[in-house]
């Protein structure tokens, strides 16, 4: 596995809740360093902002100020019934509000110099907005215009195979040649069943496999 030793990341992990595969760190740094200049980045799934802040950290050390758009509605699997969280007295609505506020506070503290643009939308909804090229008010209160080619997509939303296929199709539509797509939880050991689809992408003649680390990082070639 390709790894990066970075003295900041352990401190970020101590304070910022979330899941970030160690191999993804190398992939994020590689994509940020080598993606087409000036193009925006998209993160699908943000939770409490750990990967958002990691992306911004590598933008900072690689001298990149590319816009970063995050797509998340902060509605979690298993929360559809609206009841309490497990056997607690906390409702799923309260849990969602807490996670969203954690995201806001984490990105304000760790990425205040390079604030992202989180859009309150599931990934399919986000790409419809992106396709339309409209202006939206993001979760942090900034008015931003969506649309155009992208340089890097970090796909970490729903890990259902059908949704992953739709996410790839949407990313592919806007990913510029030379741009990168990283799929979280896509390794052959992951329990979500994304690995066969990763092999399909690797077999395409318009993508090259950059790393299986253990998740899959691809570069669009044309």
Q: 167, 157 in Cβ contact below 8 A?
A: yes
pLDDT exceeds cutoff 90 at 77: no
| 110-150: pLDDT as tens digits | 999 999 999 999 999 999 999 999 999 999 999 999 999 99
Euclidean distance between CA atoms 80 and 75, whole angstroms: 8
In a domain, 42, yes or no: yes
Q: For 124-206, list the strands marked E by DSSP.
A: 135-137, 143-145, 150-155, 175-183
Q: 153, 116, 123, 115: which is closest to 27 by C-alpha?
A: 153
- The continuous run of DSSP H or E covering 143 comes out as strand 143-145
What's the structural domain count of the chain? 1
Residue 79: per-residue pLDDT: 75
Residue in the structure block whose two tokens are 């900041």: 8
Residues 6+ apart with CB under 8 A from 198: 183, 186, 212, 216
In a domain, 2, yes or no: no
Task: Give percent above pLDDT 90 in the chain.
Answer: 94
| 53-67: pLDDT as tens digits | 999 999 999 999 999
Residue 34: per-residue pLDDT: 98
In a domain, 3, yes or no: no
- Read off the CATH number of the domain in which 88 is found: 3.40.50.150
| 86-113: pLDDT as tens digits | 999 999 999 999 999 999 999 999 999 9
In a domain, 67, yes or no: yes
Residue 159: per-residue pLDDT: 87
Task: Tell me if the pTM is above 0.85.
Answer: yes
Query: Domain of 207?
Result: 8-220
Q: 157, 77 in Cβ contact below 8 A?
A: no
């Amino acid at each position: 596995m390709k790894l990066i030793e970075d003295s900041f990341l352990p401190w970020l992990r101590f304070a910022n809740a979330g899941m970030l595969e160690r191999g993804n760190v190398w992939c994020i740094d590689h994509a940020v360093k080598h993606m087409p200049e000036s193009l925006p980045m998209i993160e699908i799934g943000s939770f409490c902002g750990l990967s958002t802040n990691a992306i911004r950290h590598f933008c900072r050390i690689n001298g990149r100020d590319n816009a970063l758009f995050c797509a998340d509605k902060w509605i979690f699997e298993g929360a559809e019934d609206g009841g309490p969280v497990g056997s607690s007295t906390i409702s799923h609505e309260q849990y969602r509000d807490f996670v969203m506020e954690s995201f806001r506070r984490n990105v304000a503290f760790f990425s205040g110099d390079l604030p992202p643009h989180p859009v309150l939308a599931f990934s399919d909804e986000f790409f419809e907005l992106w396709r339309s090229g409209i202006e939206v008010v993001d979760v942090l209160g900034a008015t931003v215009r969506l649309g155009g080619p992208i340089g890097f997509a970090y796909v970490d939303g729903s890990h259902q195979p059908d949704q992953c296929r739709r996410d790839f199709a949407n990313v592919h539509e806007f990913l510029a040649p030379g741009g990168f797509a990283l799929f979280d939880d896509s390794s052959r050991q992951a329990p979500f069943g994304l690995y066969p689809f990763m092999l399909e992408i690797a077999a395409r003649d318009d993508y090259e496999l950059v790393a299986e680390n253990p998740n899959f990082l691809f570069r669009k070639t044309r």
